[in-house]
């Protein structure tokens, strides 16, 4: 379960409908906010007293990565440990033809050799503040649902901006518990991030797509970055020390990271919408795009290199979505969800007072799903997916239009507090490949025709009467957006310059924008707003019945999960809680080194120097999901014992229903990391830094 | 899928109803008789021309083991390779308190050190002859079905005896294709068999019951025996040479062994009988017996040693039967069987001539199942299961009664041609443990009460009015059958001596015998006879429609299977076609050496001397089932590449429906055997003998 790379992240996050509180949690369930950790449960179940010092230490050592993953500080000089697959987009941007750092790996023998990454942002959660009263207080009496949404949204924008100006920190207001709670998250932000070490992709992602979401596993899915401030390594007094003892079966462990999105409390009608509309559409798109990229890769080695990161994330998303879809089709899991909903509805119905306040929000949500089903496909195809050039064009068109509005009336992603991060990506010097763009756009246009029909106005606009391949060639041939200087120039020129531009991609973005905005508005007014207010009512009913010891659905903000290190059984087969380095050599040999089981030549060469019994990966029951990739796993003493990089296939159902019988989070073992750095990579200065107390 | 040890073998074989021809085989399907190998299929699919020299070489190198498994000659001096779990009953008989060869393993450094096994018989298939005309010709005109069965049975007895006297060989007449064909199998028989080498059980059966029926697997499930003749190692010009190159994925391989029993062409009513009556009864019994043996083992180390072999075979049978039962409850598999039957019945119905000859044998079989359901439970409890003393008492009672009858009127197992083998077991000096016997009998009696009720005449007879524990104590206390001399004495005294005996166990066997025989007769007359004649009609219809390129259901006689070396996917996980020695160390380490994943101390000590990349186990698609354990796997050149010791859990459905998608036969790789013998066990003289051309 690699992290969700940024473009796919948006897709997947948009699946989450609104966050929702869950039923009373079962053992080891929960992605807890740091201001509401499950203290009693931990004390009762594991005899562990979690105190503020422990929480502060773990929180201030935890790092969020803008590319859709998690990380942690692991030395006092800003060394950051994350997954290779979280860093891989950044690593690819540092690569070029004949110099493929994703394939070869990278090690900076001295600090001076550390490579500055393009547009990578790290966030450290500085503080949390409840701003519910202020956000809800901004809604005027008698406002309609749509008006209330705008008023809340404007207040959120004001809070973020004020707080940012006051503190200099990145300030996000996050709605939790379906808007039952609004929380201000203040982050320290670091954008000078450099690459220190990455293994070859073959070692990080040994077993490739077939082994992804599986265990036993043998992946050194790690990378080391370093945060800099004012050109110097960042001083990080809060960082995680590496455990030397490691974990054993039954140990209590914690995961501190940023789960992207869950749908534990979606109503049955929302689940049905995902099952019947949203997931099938996304899977159609992803399968189509996988075929495209596979064809493109077949053209040659350089093409394959260019497509590799994209293919990786597509494969990964397909596997995840397929798993989600299967769990929505699993009668047992859905019966459990249905029974929960029926019980809650019955208890509301039986309580006259509650019933009068809450009404029937389930029906309102069901009606909203019908709208979602009606407009979902056209909304999706009002963008050209899989094209970086189009994405940049749309951002430029909207950015220049939005900044003319008052801050709190803008689309949230164009508010002042978001602009730094947005511009980091927009003006990135990372290469954009014209051949891959043209190929991708042609494919996307083709799919658009298939899905919407040749007569749809969106199709007319996008194709301008030409066949898909011609249209794609014209679009890519007539744009200068691959040049970061040109993008700067357009943004500097503002809306007028943009609207006057004859750049083909800008013109397409302008032409599609009205429909796209209209569909977005309809979705927000008739779907999200309804889900939000109805969801709030359901949340209220749930709080009234089950009390407050619940956690919110995931929102790509920092959470604490916990669980035990534990093997599992699948199809009658005993799967151990860990693997060892010996098993990496075994699995490669057992497949006769056929792809994706090639053995990294360096590992072959250094084999006799490595202790084969060193633990390499392990599993635990902690409750995680995409976005948690790169999260540190810590023990009771707050020491680093592992690095989350995946969940097994049995954990995909956790998106909707947590079950610890066979669902497992998969981590790289800290001992495996040290053994590899020491005896395979001989990365002595990094090992010394990691071991320094 | 360890071999079926003799006592359990009878149980499982009795499940087979009558053997039946199968539908036209799919690729790699089939357990072919050596006189009807699938020559065309092999030529078409694999471009392999199988000729008589090849067949004779493989057949004469193949060995059947009386304890329910298969084996092969692997040197010119009678060296026999089989599974540890096929030889384990024999190895246990060579063990004693404080001298546990099953646990410690054994190696004879010189020929003189080879240990003579108690009552182990090896058979080599010398020749096959079709005797259908003679058997069917013996049925007199106008005979009823029951009379016809007796007439055929008598003719079979005559043929076996005549042939045995004429050739000195063991001669069995085997009904194939549900009695459509009767074949005379002539075997060379060797009863002086000695133990040459066995690894410790921990290495042979690494992973124990949890890993049984699973793959990936890391078992050195082998033992080396030697056949002797006139006190000298047997000269075996026909033997398999060990391949040095081994197998790779995609290789065509052959398995030559003795599959015990399949039910590929059971009718739907027979399957329903197994699903609703037979398997649940057997599983109840086995679970009950496993609980008993587990309790007994908990008493101490010596008790655990005594119960270990029994527990092993119980666990194994439970796993197999549970798998069979699950496949009978699998809607997809059963729908496939149902559709096949419906199609065949429709084609018979559509063919006036065929319809007139065949009638409705399916209904006749269904009626017979009702009788089976009625008498099955009492028939089962007309014996005391799990007691060796009772088994010997029953054999003595029946043997002395049957030998007074003409040979061809006896129960088949007491005919002259079977007596040598029968007496080998009956007079065995292998120890019988009074404490284990008493415990087992008390448990069996208790279960009998639960199942039949306290008022059943069988219960009265068995318990004599006492509680189960008292009855068991009295039965074991009052018998001398543990002494082989006493058994000889009774047999020598004949029926009169037996009937006059006051030995408690003999008296019980005498008392239960009338009911047991009566129920057996009813089952034979009203179930087997009907199944046999109706099955013959179904077979005739099938031959008429599908032609003759079919193979008979398994009958624990020599068969040739074939397939390719091939990994599989399970639950989204890629399973490679082989494992290596490295993986054995990995799996032990991954489970922290907890049982059943302890690492044999010798393997720990010799680790640096072993090439970790040596293949240890592999899988192939060959069509096998229990009884094939110990079968050689040979390549196109007839060289030994592996040693069958299991099927994966996905292959259990093969009992009824062959499916090569994920069902696999599991073998020890010859290269792993050689590496272990050379570098772990330093068994130099054996290695030299194996490598000698």
pLDDT tens digit sequence for B392-415: 999 999 999 999 999 888 998 999
pLDDT at residue number A145: 79
Q: Do A249 and B592 count as a contact with CB atoms less than 8 A apart?
A: yes
Using a CB-CB cut-off of 8 Å, the residues of chain A touching B587 are: 576, 583
Q: Do A649 and B572 count as a contact with CB atoms less than 8 A apart?
A: yes
pLDDT at residue number B280: 95
Q: Hey, which residues 610-639 in chain A have their CB within 8 Å of chain B? A: 612-613
In the predicted model, is pLDDT for residue A359 greater than 70? yes
Counting one residue from chain A and one from chain B, the pairs whose CB atoms sit within 8 A come to 89
In the predicted model, is pLDDT for residue B13 greater than 90? no
pLDDT mean over A22-46: 83
- Pick the range with the lowest mean pLDDT from A8-12, A103-107, B689-693: A8-12
The dihedral over CA atoms of B64, B67, B73, B77, expressed in degrees to the nearest 10, equals -120
pLDDT mean over B15-44: 70
pLDDT at residue number B385: 93
Question: Which are the contacts of A608, defined by CB distance < 8 A and separation ≥ 6?
Answer: none
Q: Nearest-CA residue of chain A relative to B207? A: A574
Render pLDDT for B324-366 as a digit per residue (tens, 0 to 9).
998 899 888 888 889 989 998 999 999 988 888 888 899 999 9
Q: Do B612 and A586 count as a contact with CB atoms less than 8 A apart?
A: yes
Q: What are phi and psi of A240, to 5 degrees?
A: -95, 130
DSSP states of B151-208: HHHHHHHHHHHHHHHHH-SEEEEEEEGGGTEEEEEEEEEE-EEEEEEE--HHHHTTTH
Q: Rounded to an integer, what distance in angstroms lies between the CA atom of residue B458 and that of residue B438?
A: 19
Of A207, A580, A587, the CB nearest to B590: A580
Using a CB-CB cut-off of 8 Å, the residues of chain A touching B207 are: 574
Q: Rounded to an integer, what distance in angstroms lies between the CA atom of residue A314 and that of residue A316?
A: 5
User: What residues are paired with A33 via a beta bridge?
Assistant: A559
Q: How confident is the model at residue A3 (pLDDT cuts 50, 70, 90)?
A: very low
Q: Hey, is the C-beta of A571 within 8 angstroms of any chain B C-beta?
A: yes
- Pick the range with the lowest mean pLDDT from A172-176, A574-578, A632-636: A172-176
Total domains in chain B come to 1
* Residue % of chain A over a pLDDT of 70: 96
Final residue of a domain: which of A149, A166, A189? A189
Q: Hey, is the C-beta of B596 within 8 angstroms of any chain A C-beta?
A: no
Of B249, B582, B597, the CB nearest to A589: B582
Q: Do B248 and A211 count as a contact with CB atoms less than 8 A apart?
A: no
pLDDT mean over B663-680: 97
Q: What is the DSSP letter of B415?
A: S
pLDDT at residue number B20: 35
The pLDDT mean for chain B works out to 91
Q: Do A586 and B570 count as a contact with CB atoms less than 8 A apart?
A: no
pLDDT mean over A598-617: 97
Number of alpha carbons in the 13 Å side-chain half-sphere of residue A219? 34
- Pick the range with the lowest mean pLDDT from A306-315, B162-171, B389-398: A306-315
Q: Hey, is the C-beta of B216 within 8 angstroms of any chain A C-beta?
A: yes
Q: Is A40 exposed, middle or buried (0-12, 13-18, 19+ CB in 10 A)?
A: exposed
The 3-state DSSP class for residue B5 equals coil
B392 within domain boundaries: yes
pLDDT mean over A632-642: 97
A106 within domain boundaries: no
In the predicted model, is pLDDT for residue A178 greater than 80? no
B185 within domain boundaries: no
Give the 3-state DSSP-derived string for A257-314, with helices as H, strands as E and coil as C: ECCCCCCCCCCHHHHHHHHHHHHHHHHHHHHHHHHHHHHHHCCCHHHHHHHHHHHHHH
pLDDT mean over B658-681: 95
B445 within domain boundaries: yes
Q: State which residues form the domain around B440.
A: 384-531
Q: Hey, is the C-beta of A592 within 8 angstroms of any chain B C-beta?
A: yes
Looking at the complex, report in whole angstroms how far the Cα of residue A238 sits from the nearest Cα belonging to chain B.
33
B209 within domain boundaries: no
Residue A335: count of CB within 10 angstroms of its CB? 10
Strand ranges inside A14-121, DSSP E: 32-33, 62-65, 69-73, 79-82, 106-107, 115-116
In the predicted model, is pLDDT for residue A6 greater than 60? no
Q: Hey, is the C-beta of A576 within 8 angstroms of any chain B C-beta?
A: yes
Rounded to the nearest angstrom, the gap between the alpha carbon of residue B150 and the centroid of all alpha carbons in its chain is 26
Q: Do B216 and A249 count as a contact with CB atoms less than 8 A apart?
A: no
Interface test with A, best of B217, B589, B669 (most A CBs within 10 A): B589
Looking at the complex, report in whole angstroms how far the Cα of residue B248 sits from the nearest Cα belonging to chain A.
9
pLDDT at residue number A21: 35
For residue B197, give both structure tokens: 């080498």
Render pLDDT for A224-277 as a digit per residue (tens, 0 to 9).
999 999 999 999 999 999 998 999 999 999 999 999 988 888 899 999 999 999
- How far, in Å, are A241, B64, B424, B576 from residue B188 at the CA level? 71, 10, 16, 39
Q: How confident is the model at residue B430 (pLDDT cuts 50, 70, 90)?
A: confident
Render pLDDT for B267-317 as a digit per residue (tens, 0 to 9).
999 999 999 999 999 999 999 999 999 999 999 999 998 888 788 889 888
Q: Hey, is the C-beta of B579 within 8 angstroms of any chain A C-beta?
A: yes
* Residue % of chain B over a pLDDT of 70: 96
Q: Do B574 and A211 count as a contact with CB atoms less than 8 A apart?
A: yes
In the predicted model, is pLDDT for residue A2 greater than 60? no
A522 within domain boundaries: yes
Q: Rounded to an integer, what distance in angstroms lies between the CA atom of residue A665 and that of residue A253?
A: 11
Q: Hey, is the C-beta of B7 within 8 angstroms of any chain A C-beta?
A: no
Looking at the complex, report in whole angstroms how far the Cα of residue A597 sits from the nearest Cα belonging to chain B.
10
Q: Do B580 and A590 count as a contact with CB atoms less than 8 A apart?
A: yes
Angle at A481 between CA A384 and CA A302, to 5 degrees: 80
A304 within domain boundaries: no
B250 within domain boundaries: no
Q: What is the DSSP letter of A82?
A: E
Tell me if B127 sits within 8 A of B558, measured CB to CB.
no
Render pLDDT for A79-88 as a digit per residue (tens, 0 to 9).
999 999 999 9
Render pLDDT for B594-629 as a digit per residue (tens, 0 to 9).
999 999 999 999 999 999 999 999 999 999 999 999
Render pLDDT for B499-521 as a digit per residue (tens, 0 to 9).
999 999 999 999 999 999 999 99
pLDDT mean over B573-599: 96
pLDDT mean over A363-369: 95
Q: Hey, is the C-beta of A35 within 8 angstroms of any chain B C-beta?
A: no
Q: Do A210 and B649 count as a contact with CB atoms less than 8 A apart?
A: no
Q: Nearest-CA residue of chain B relative to A594? A: B576
pLDDT mean over B232-243: 97
In the predicted model, is pLDDT for residue B457 greater than 90? yes
Q: Rounded to an integer, what distance in angstroms lies between the CA atom of residue B47 and that of residue A434?
A: 49
ipTM of the complex: 0.80
Tell me if A167 sits within 8 A of A99, measured CB to CB.
no
Of A17 and B2, the structure prediction assigns the larger pLDDT to B2
Residue B518: count of CB within 10 angstroms of its CB? 14
Residue A564: count of CB within 10 angstroms of its CB? 19
Short-list A369, A351, A342, A370, CA closest to A540:
A351
Render pLDDT for A474-519 as a digit per residue (tens, 0 to 9).
999 999 999 999 999 999 999 999 999 999 999 999 999 999 999 9
Tell me if B115 sits within 8 A of B130, measured CB to CB.
no
Task: Dihedral sign for Cα A20, A26, A30, A32, please.
Answer: positive
Q: Do A573 and B248 count as a contact with CB atoms less than 8 A apart?
A: no
- Pick the range with the lowest mean pLDDT from B64-73, B273-282, B525-534: B525-534
pLDDT mean over A616-632: 96
pLDDT at residue number A170: 94
pLDDT mean over B33-51: 94
Q: Do A583 and B582 count as a contact with CB atoms less than 8 A apart?
A: yes
The 3-state DSSP class for residue B258 equals coil
For residue A503, give both structure tokens: 């750049």
Strand ranges inside A68-147, DSSP E: 69-73, 79-82, 106-107, 115-116, 122-130
User: What residues are paired with B80 via a beta bridge?
Assistant: B73, B225
Of A429 and B105, the structure prediction assigns the larger pLDDT to B105
Angle at B548 between CA B542 and CA B551, to 5 degrees: 90
- Kindly report the pTM of this predicted structure: 0.84
User: What residues are paired with B125 via a beta bridge?
Assistant: B187
Q: What are phi and psi of A641, to 5 degrees?
A: -115, -15
In the predicted model, is pLDDT for residue B246 greater than 60? yes
- Pick the range with the lowest mean pLDDT from A636-640, B518-522, B529-533: B529-533
Using a CB-CB cut-off of 8 Å, the residues of chain A touching B597 are: 576
Give the 3-state DSSP-derived string for A368-416, with helices as H, strands as E and coil as C: HHHHHHHHHHHHHCCCCCCCHHHHHHHHHHHHHHHCCCCHHHCCHHHCH
Looking at the complex, report in whole angstroms how far the Cα of residue A54 sits from the nearest Cα belonging to chain B.
30
Q: Rounded to an integer, what distance in angstroms lies between the CA atom of residue B118 and that of residue B477?
A: 26
In the predicted model, is pLDDT for residue B104 greater than 90? yes
Of B178 and B386, the structure prediction assigns the larger pLDDT to B386
Using a CB-CB cut-off of 8 Å, the residues of chain B touching A571 are: 570-571, 649
The 3-state DSSP class for residue A125 equals strand
Q: Do A612 and B578 count as a contact with CB atoms less than 8 A apart?
A: no
pLDDT at residue number B693: 65
């Amino acid at each position: 379960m690699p992290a969700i790379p940024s473009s796919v992240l948006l897709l997947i996050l948009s699946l989450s409908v609104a966050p929702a509180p869950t039923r009373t949690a079962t053992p080891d369930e929960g992605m807890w906010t740091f201001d509401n950790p499950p203290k009693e449960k931990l004390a009762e179940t594991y005899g562990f007293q979690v105190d503020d010092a422990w929480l502060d230490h773990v929180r201030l050592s935890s790092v969020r990565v803008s590319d859709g993953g998690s990380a942690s500080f692991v030395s006092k000089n800003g060394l950051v440990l994350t997954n290779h697959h979280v860093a891989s987009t950044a690593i690819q941007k540092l690569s070029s033809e004949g110099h493929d750092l994703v394939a070869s790996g990278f090690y900076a023998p001295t600090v001076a050799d550390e490579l500055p990454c393009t547009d990578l942002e790290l966030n450290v959660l500085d503080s949390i503040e409840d701003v519910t009263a202020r956000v809800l207080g901004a809604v005027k009496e008698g406002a309609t649902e749509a008006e209330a949404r705008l008023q809340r949204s404007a207040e959120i924008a004001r809070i973020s901006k004020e707080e940012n100006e006051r503190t200099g920190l990145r300030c996000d207001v996050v709605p939790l518990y379906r808007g039952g709670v609004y929380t201000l998250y203040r982050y320290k932000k670091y954008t000078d991030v450099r690459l220190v070490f990455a293994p070859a992709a073959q070692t990080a992602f040994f077993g490739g797509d077939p082994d992804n979401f599986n265990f036993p596993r043998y992946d050194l899915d790690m990378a080391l970055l370093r945060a800099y401030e004012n050109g110097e390594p960042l001083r990080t007094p809060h960082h995680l020390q590496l455990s030397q003892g490691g974990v054993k079966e039954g140990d209590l462990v914690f995961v501190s990271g940023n789960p992207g999105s869950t749908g534990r409390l979606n109503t049955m009608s929302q689940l049905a919408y995902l099952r019947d509309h949203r997931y099938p559409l996304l899977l159609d798109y992803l399968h189509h795009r996988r075929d495209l990229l596979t064809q493109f890769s077949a053209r040659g080695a350089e093409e394959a290199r260019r497509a590799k990161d994209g293919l990786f994330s597509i494969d990964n998303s397909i596997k995840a979505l397929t798993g989600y879809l299967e769990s929505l089709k699993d009668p047992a899991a859905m019966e459990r969800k249905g029974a929960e909903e029926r019980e809650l509805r019955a208890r509301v119905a039986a309580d006259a007072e509650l019933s009068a306040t809450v009404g029937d929000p389930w029906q309102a949500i069901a009606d909203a799903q019908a709208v979602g089903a009606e407009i979902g496909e056209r909304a999706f195809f009002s963008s050209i997916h899989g094209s970086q050039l189009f994405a940049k064009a749309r951002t430029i068109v909207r950015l220049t239009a939005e900044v003319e509005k008052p801050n709190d009336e803008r689309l949230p992603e164009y508010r002042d507090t978001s602009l730094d991060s947005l511009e980091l990506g927009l003006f990135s010097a990372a290469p954009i490949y014209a051949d891959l763009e043209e190929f991708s756009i042609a494919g996307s246009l083709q799919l658009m025709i298939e899905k919407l029909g040749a007569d749809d106005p969106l199709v007319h606009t996008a194709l301008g009467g030409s066949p898909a391949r011609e249209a794609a060639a014209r679009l890519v041939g007539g744009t200068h957006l691959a040049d970061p200087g040109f993008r700067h120039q357009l943004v500097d020129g503002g809306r007028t310059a943009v609207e006057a531009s004859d750049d083909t991609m800008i013109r397409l973005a302008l032409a599609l924008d009205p429909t796209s905005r209209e569909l977005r508005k309809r979705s927000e007014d008739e779907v999200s707003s309804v889900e939000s207010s109805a969801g709030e009512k359901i949340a209220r009913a749930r709080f009234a019945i089950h009390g407050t010891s619940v956690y919110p659905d995931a929102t790509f903000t920092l959470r604490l999960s916990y669980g035990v290190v534990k093997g599992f059984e699948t199809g009658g087969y005993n799967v151990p809680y860990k693997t060892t380095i010996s098993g990496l050599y075994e699995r490669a040999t057992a497949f006769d080194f056929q792809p994706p089981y090639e053995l990294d030549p360096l590992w072959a060469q250094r084999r006799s120097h490595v202790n084969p019994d060193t633990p390499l990966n392990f599993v635990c029951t902690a409750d995680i999901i995409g976005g948690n990739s790169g999260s540190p796993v810590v023990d009771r003493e707050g020491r680093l014992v592992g690095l989350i990089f995946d969940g097994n296939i049995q954990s995909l159902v956790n998106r909707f229903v947590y079950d610890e019988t066979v669902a497992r989070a998969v981590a790289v073992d800290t001992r495996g990391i040290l053994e590899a750095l020491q005896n395979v990579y001989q990365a002595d200065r990094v090992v010394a830094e990691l071991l320094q107390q």
